[in-house]
Amino acid sequence: MRVVIVVHEGFQLLDMAGPADVFATASVFRRDAYQVEVAAPGAGAVRAHGGITTVAAHSLDSLDGEIDTLLVAGGLSVPQVRHDEVLIKGLVRLARKAARIASVCNGALLLAEAGLLDGKRATTHWLAARELAERYPAVRVDADPIYIKEGNVWTSAGVTAGIDLALALVAEDHGHQVARDVARGLVVYLHRPGGQSQFSTPMEVQAPTREPLRDLLAYIDSHPAQDLSVPALANRAGMSERHFSRVFTEQSGLSPGRYVERSRAEAARRLLEATDHSQDTVARLTGLGAPETLYRVFRRHWRVSPGDYRRRFRSNEG
């Protein structure tokens, strides 16, 4: 099967190398399963972010023939290269020849710029999800999945998620046993547990314009175990409960209850990373009360259990 990986100046090296190694390893277990080619707006040397140079054997306009998978790499240069007409027009042309289209990381923005994600559900690196949604409103963005298949279009989350995506493509092409063999050979998960949210940084909220509310957000974040009910917070802000709820939501973009729960989930995440506290203690210190509530809230926000999260992200300096 012919795989064409599209790169550009400043691309993320692992966005290309990760999937390429998956396809190459699959060809060990299933002889000559894939033929991988690298293409760019212009043939020749292409410098990745970090300085390593690869060679694109083909320019986009020179490629001919049918393509089984057209895969687009992302990178920190995507905000600049999406204005490259040769790149975008090349993607549009090659997409017509491809049985399957895919992107790694914020390469999804290049597919979106080419109109190839219109009307489709897609994912990207969690840092680029808001930009994808705001700049391309025709795309239905879901920032949590490691990868998404929507018809013949596949998109994946950040960087190493390209390996997960490629393994899923191998499973679709040659079955789960071959994909399992490839995963074992590369020492990676066949199906990574949890979603992308477990890797994201603390929540972003609108900065309130009113000083009392800015102070209140700081209070909530630094006192998770206190009474943070709407009545208590409204009293602290000197407002009626109804007026407080309306103003808080308008100013922060979240309801008081939603903000408090997310803030407590953030506090629990920090304690799981940096301390040896039991889950019972973490639940008590963060105002979540019981381990059952901690588990439920943590799963809702990070799509992974507190125990699994601690095993993956526990700091040895805790």
- Note the pLDDT tens digit of each residue in 131-181: 999 999 999 999 889 999 999 999 999 999 999 999 999 999 999 999 999
The mean of the pLDDT values for the chain is: 92
Could you please state the CATH topology (level 3) that the domain comprising 2-197 is classified under: Rossmann fold (3.40.50)
Decide: residue 278, CB within 10 A, 0-12 exposed, 13-18 middle, 19+ buried. exposed
* CA trace torsion 257, 258, 263, 267 (10° rounding): 90
- Note the pLDDT tens digit of each residue in 17-55: 999 999 999 999 999 999 999 999 999 999 999 999 999
Architecture of domain 211-313: Orthogonal Bundle (1.10)
Distance CA 65, CA 78 (A): 27
Q: Are strands 147-150 and 153-156 parallel, antiparallel or unpaired?
A: antiparallel
- Tokens 């991988």 locate to 36
**Given this model, what pLDDT does residue 231 score?**
96
Decide: residue 146, CB within 10 A, 0-12 exposed, 13-18 middle, 19+ buried. buried
Instruction: Give the pair of three-digit tokens for residue 317.
Output: 């300096």
Can you give the residue ranges of every domain in the chain? 2-197, 211-313
CB atoms within 10 A of CB 111: 29
